Amino acid sequence: MKDGLLTVQRLQCSHCGGELPIMGRYVTFQCRPCFRRCIITDDGLAPLNVYRASLPEEREGTIVYLPFWVLRADVDALRKNISSVMTGLTEISQKIATMKIEADTSEPDWVLELGMNLMGADARGPAMIDSSNLSKRLPSRARLEHILGRMEAAGRWHIYIPAFWTTNTRAYLKIGHLMTRSQPAFHAERFDDPERPVMCVLGPEDAVRLVDYIFFATLPESIQTCSSFMKGIHLEVANPVLIEFPFLESSGSLESLVGGFHIQSQMVDTDPTE
Ligand SMILES: [Zn+2]
C-alpha cells in the first residue's frame, strides 16, 4: 500500500520466478526451488536474509526460535538530540523564571495609586507553578550522561523489536525491552533451512516505527515521566536485520538463552502451524 493505493502483486520469487507459498499471517516467504527468502515491505516484496543466533550452550528441552528485528542505534545523533532538547527546555524554564521576577517587581503605577495588591499570593501563584513544574520535568543531566556513556562505551547499541506473533501487545513492550536492556553478545549465521518457516509478522518499516516505543521503555521512570523532554526525543536507527533467537520452553515459561531472562510462555504464540 502506497499513497492510499492498493497494489496487487503476485507472490513470485524475484530470483527464479518460482511461486511462493501462502504464509497466512507471516510476512516472510521462502522460495521452494531456490531457498531464497523475501519479505513484504511497504514497496512490495524485497529479498531478505535471515540470521539465527547460535545456542550459547547445549540445553535439554524444547528450543524455539523467535524472530526479532535488530536495529543499530545512532548514539551520536541521540547525544545531539538530547543536548538540543535540554538546551531548549532550559531556556524556556529560565524565561518563565525571569517573567516571574519581572511580574513580582513591576507593579503598574495605577495599581500602586489605587493601593491594590495584585501581586498577592493568588496572582503570583500560576507563574510560580509553571516555573517549578517545568524544572521538575527536566531529567537529571547526570542521569542522561550515565545512559549515553553506557551506550557509547558498549561500542554499538541495538534495539530489539519482537517480530513474532502475539495477541498480547504488552508482550511486545516487555520482551523488546528485556532484550534491548540486556544488549546480549551472540554469534549468528545465515539461516536458510527450507523446513523451518520464519515466524515473522512484522515488516522492517514497522520495526523502525516501533523503535522509540521500545527504546523509551528501557529508560528509567524518572526520565520517562518528563513529558516535555520525551516529546523531543527520537532515536535514529540503521538497517533492520532479522535474527532468530533461541528460547527454552518449559512449563509455562520461556527462557531467553541469549538474553538471560524468563517470560511467561502464554505471552507468545510459538506454534507456526496454527
Ligand atoms: Zn526462487
Cα separation, 260 vs 186, whole angstroms: 12
Please, are residues 195 and 32 in contact by the beta-carbon 8 Å criterion? Answer: no
Please, are residues 187 and 53 in contact by the beta-carbon 8 Å criterion? Answer: yes
Q: How confident is the model at residue 22 (pLDDT cuts 50, 70, 90)?
A: confident
> If residue 46 lies in a helix (H) or strand (E), which one and from where to where?
strand 44-48
Please, are residues 165 and 269 in contact by the beta-carbon 8 Å criterion? Answer: yes
The rounded Å distance from CA 194 to ligand 1 centre is 12
For the chain, domain boundaries: 1-48, 49-75+156-267, 77-114+121-146
**Predicted pLDDT at 1:** 46
pLDDT in tens, 55-112: 988 888 999 999 999 999 999 999 999 999 999 998 888 887 777 666 666 655 655 5
The rounded Å distance from CA 195 to ligand 1 centre is 15
What is the residue whose three cell numbers read 518449559? 250
Q: 199: helix, coil or strand?
A: coil
The rounded Å distance from CA 34 to ligand 1 centre is 4
Cα separation, 239 vs 231, whole angstroms: 24
The rounded Å distance from CA 48 to ligand 1 centre is 12
If one counts every other C-beta atom within 10 angstroms of the C-beta of residue 228, the result is 16
Q: Inter-axis angle of helices 75-105 and 141-153, to 10 degrees?
A: 170
pTM of the entire structure?
A: 0.81
The rounded Å distance from CA 9 to ligand 1 centre is 16
- Paired strand residues for 244: 52, 67
Residue 267 sits at φ, ψ, to 5 deg, of -75, -15
pLDDT in tens, 221-257: 999 999 999 999 999 999 899 999 999 998 888 899 9
**Predicted pLDDT at 124:** 46
**Predicted pLDDT at 181:** 94
What is the residue whose three cell numbers read 535439554? 60
Cβ burial, residue 252 (10 Å; 0-12/13-18/19+): exposed
Cα separation, 176 vs 210, whole angstroms: 10
**Predicted pLDDT at 242:** 97
